[in-house]
Structure 1
C-alpha cells in the first residue's frame, strides 16, 4: 500500500517547495516510486514534482473539486507508487472559511484521507518560540495529525539545539534541520516560481536539493511518519469536458498553464492534443476542431506575439469555423491590444474587443465560481464551473462583446460579468479547474 505525507507550513515562503522536491528525489534515490501532488490551484509546482519523481504531477483542490473527483484523481496518482508527497499551498489551514471540508486548505486532505503532516518551520529570528508554533499546529484541529517537524533556515548548531529541545519537550518529533543555504532558493517571477521547464540546469538543482535532504533529514523516520493512503476509485462526472476531438493547444514560454488533471482526462476520453507555438509564429493545426490558448506570460512576450503574423492570421481563420477559447493569458491575446510593463501597446489578435495592460498592474487573486451564460468549450449555458483568478494585468477597455459568465467568489458573493464571447471565440481571466 502507498504511504503518504503532507508537507505543510505556517505560511508561504517557509521552504515547503524546496523540501518537497528534495525529499521526492531523495526517496526516489532509495528505489521508491514516488507520486507527487499539490493542494490548491497552482500550475507551477506540479511541474517541479514531475521533474523530481519522473511521474506526472496533479492538483488536489478541495474547494474547486468535488469529493468524487478528488477520490478519482488521488486513486490514479498513487497507482503503482510506494510513497505520496503532497505539498500544501500557503499555510496548512489557509483556505475559505467553510465547515464542509471544502475550504481548499491542505488540512482538508489531511483530515479526509488521514494523511499525517510533516511541518516545515522556518525558525529564522526565533528559537524556543518555534515550540509554541508547533504546539499550536498540533492542537488546532484534532482531525489533522502533525506527525513531526523539520526545522528550516537554521543559523547554527546552538540555534538548532534550542529549537529542537523545546519542540521535542512538547512531545513533537523533530526529524531534521536544514541550515541556511542560498543555493536552495528557487527563482521567482510575478506569478510565483519560474516554471520547471524554464529552470536552467534543473536536474542538477534537484540533485542538490536531494543531497541537502539526505544530509539534513532522517529519511527512515520520515517514511515511518507517513500513513497509509486509502483511496476510492471510480468514474467522476466533474471533469472539464474536452473542447474538441483534436485540440490545437498553444504551448511555449507564453502559454503553459494547463492543469495536469484536465489534459490527462481529455486524453483518457479519446481527445488528441496538438501543440503549437505562437512564439515560433505557428498557426493552430487546420485539422483540429478546437483551439485552446492557456494562461501563461504573454505580457513578457507581447512584442514577439504582436509580430507573429502567421499565428494571428491562422488563429483568425481557424475561428471562422471552429471554437477558440482563451484563459487568462490566452484571453489577453484574444483581445485587441496588450500594454506591456514599459507602457508600449502591442496589437493582439482582435478576435475579442477588450484591451489589457500589464503596465497598470493590480493583483486579482481568488477562487471563482462561474455560471456560463452560453454554450462554450467550458460547458453548456447555465452550468457552473469552479476555478480561480490570479493575474496582475487588468482590463483597461472592457470591449463590446457579450459576457461569457457571471462570477461569484468562494463565499458566493457576486463579482459580475466575466470574459467575452463573439461568435465561436470565447475567453476569460478565469482559470477553470472542474465542473461545479
Structure 2
C-alpha cells in the first residue's frame, strides 16, 4: 500500500522543490518506487519530478478540477511505494473564491487525500518564531495534519538548536536540518525554474541534493510519518475531447508549457501527437488535422522564430485549411509581432493581429475561467474552460474577434480575451480542464 505525503511550506522560495526532488531520488536509490504530483498550476515542476523518479508527474488542482478528476490522476500512484505531492506557494494560499473543489490551496489536496504535510521551514533571520509559524500552520485548519518539519538553510549548530528546542516544545517533530548548500540551488528565470530539459546536469544536481538531504534528514522517520493510502476508484476520468485525431504539437525550448495531464488525456481518448520544432525550422505535420502551439519562452528566441521561414510558411499553409491554436507564448507567435526585452520588434506568423511587448514587463498571473464566444479546437461555443495565466508580456494590439469572455478567480472580467481569425485561435491562459 503506498505511503502518501504532501511537501509544503509557509511561503514560496523556501525549498519545497529541492526537498521533493531529493527525497524522491534518495528513496529511489533505496529501491523504492516514488510517484510525484504537483499541487497547483505550475507546469515546470512536473518535469523535474520525472527526472528524479523516472515516472511521469502531473498537476492536481482543486480550483480547476473536480474530485473525480483528481482521484483519476492520483490513481497512477497505486503501484508506487511512496507518493509525494509538492505544494505551491504557502500551505493555505489559494484564491479568494472557491473553484470546482477548492481554492487551489495545497491544503485542499492534503485534506482531500488524507495525506499529512511535511513542512519546509526556512528560519533565516529568526529562531523560536519558526516554531510559532509551524504551530500556526498545524492548527489553522481542521482536517489538515502536520507530519513534521525539515529546517532549511540553518545558519549554525546553535541556530539549529534554538529552533529545534522551540519546535519540540510545541510538540512538532523535526526530521532534519539542512545547512546552506549552494551546490543544490536550482537556476531560475522570470517564469520560475529553468526547465529540467534545458539543464544537461540536472541528474547530477538531483543526485547531490539526495546525498545532502540523506546526510541531514532522517529518511526513515519521514517515510514513517506518511499516511498509508488506499486509492479510491475514480468515478470518472478526465472527460477531455482532443482537439483533433492527429495533433501537430510544437515542442522545443520555446514551446514547452503544456500540462502533462492534457497530453495524456488526448492520447487516452485516441488522439495521435506529432511533435515538431519551430526553433529547428520545422513545419507542422502535413498529415495532422490540427496544430497546437503551447506556451514557453518565445521572447527568448524571437529572432530565430522570425527568421525561420520554413516554419512560418508551413504554419500559414496549414492554417489555410485546418485549425491552429496557441496558448500564451504560442498565442504570441500566432500574432503579428513580438517586441523583446531589448525593444527589438520581431515579425511573427501573422495568423492573428495580436502584438505583444516585453520591453515594459508587467506580470499577469492567476486562474482564468473562459466562456467561449467562438469555437476552438476541441471545444464548442459556450464551453467553460478553466486555466491559468502567467506571463510578463504587454498587449500592444489585440484587434481580432475575441475568442471568449474571460474572468479571473474573483469573477472580474479581464482584457486578455484571446482571439480568433479564420481557423486560428489563441488564448493567454493554459488550459487545465473544462467544466463538466
| TM > 0.5 | yes
Structure 1 residue 98 displacement after superposition: 4.3
2-structure distance, mates of 1:102, 1:271: 31
Corresponding residue for 1:51? 51
Note the 1:219-234 alignment, pairs <5 A. 219-234=219-234
- Shift of the 341–375 alpha-carbon distance from structure 1 to 2, 3 Å rule, reads same
Any conservation in 1 of the 2:26–2:211 contact (CA below 8 Å)?
yes
Corresponding residue for 1:435? 434
2-structure distance, mates of 1:162, 1:98: 39
1-structure distance, mates of 2:102, 2:21: 26
- For the pair 1:196 / 2:196, whether they are aligned, the reply is yes
2-structure distance, mates of 1:352, 1:78: 42
- Unaligned 5+ runs, structure 1: none
Structure 1 residue 269 displacement after superposition: 1.4
Q: Deviations over 1:375-427 (max 9, x none)?
A: 2114110010101110001111112x111111111122222561110111100
- Unaligned 5+ runs, structure 2: none
Structure 1 residue 239 displacement after superposition: 4.0
2-structure distance, mates of 1:199, 1:334: 28
Structure 1 residue 58 displacement after superposition: 0.6
SS class of match (1:171):
coil
Structure 1 residue 231 displacement after superposition: 2.5
- For the pair 1:329 / 2:349, whether they are aligned, the reply is no
Corresponding residue for 1:142? 142
Corresponding residue for 2:258? 258
2-structure distance, mates of 1:300, 1:392: 12
- For the pair 1:129 / 2:134, whether they are aligned, the reply is no
Corresponding residue for 2:370? 370
- For the pair 1:84 / 2:83, whether they are aligned, the reply is yes
Q: Deviations over 1:250-301 (max 9, x none)?
A: 0000000111100011111111110000000000010011100000000000
Corresponding residue for 1:295? 295
TM-score (norm 1): 0.97
Note the 1:13-412 alignment, pairs <5 A. 13-75=13-75, 77-98=76-97, 101-234=101-234, 236=236, 238-399=238-399, 401-412=400-411
**Deviating more after overlay: 225-234 vs 6-15:** 225-234
Any conservation in 1 of the 2:63–2:98 contact (CA below 8 Å)?
no
Any conservation in 2 of the 1:113–1:230 contact (CA below 8 Å)?
no
2-structure distance, mates of 1:83, 1:286: 43
**CA RMSD between the two structures:** 1.2
SS class of match (1:11):
coil
1-structure distance, mates of 2:114, 2:329: 37
Any conservation in 1 of the 2:328–2:428 contact (CA below 8 Å)?
yes
Q: Return structure 1 stretches of 4+ with deviation > 4 angstroms.
A: 98-101
2-structure distance, mates of 1:134, 1:407: 38
Q: Deviations over 1:346-368 (max 9, x none)?
A: 11000001111111211000001
Any conservation in 2 of the 1:248–1:276 contact (CA below 8 Å)?
yes
Structure 1 residue 374 displacement after superposition: 1.5
Corresponding residue for 1:420? 419
SS class of match (2:6):
strand
Any conservation in 2 of the 1:240–1:433 contact (CA below 8 Å)?
no
1-structure distance, mates of 2:246, 2:181: 47
- Shift of the 42–276 alpha-carbon distance from structure 1 to 2, 3 Å rule, reads same
TM-score (norm 2): 0.97
Structure 1 residue 74 displacement after superposition: 0.9
- Shift of the 435–216 alpha-carbon distance from structure 1 to 2, 3 Å rule, reads same
Any conservation in 2 of the 1:247–1:289 contact (CA below 8 Å)?
yes
SS class of match (1:51):
helix
SS class of match (2:387):
strand
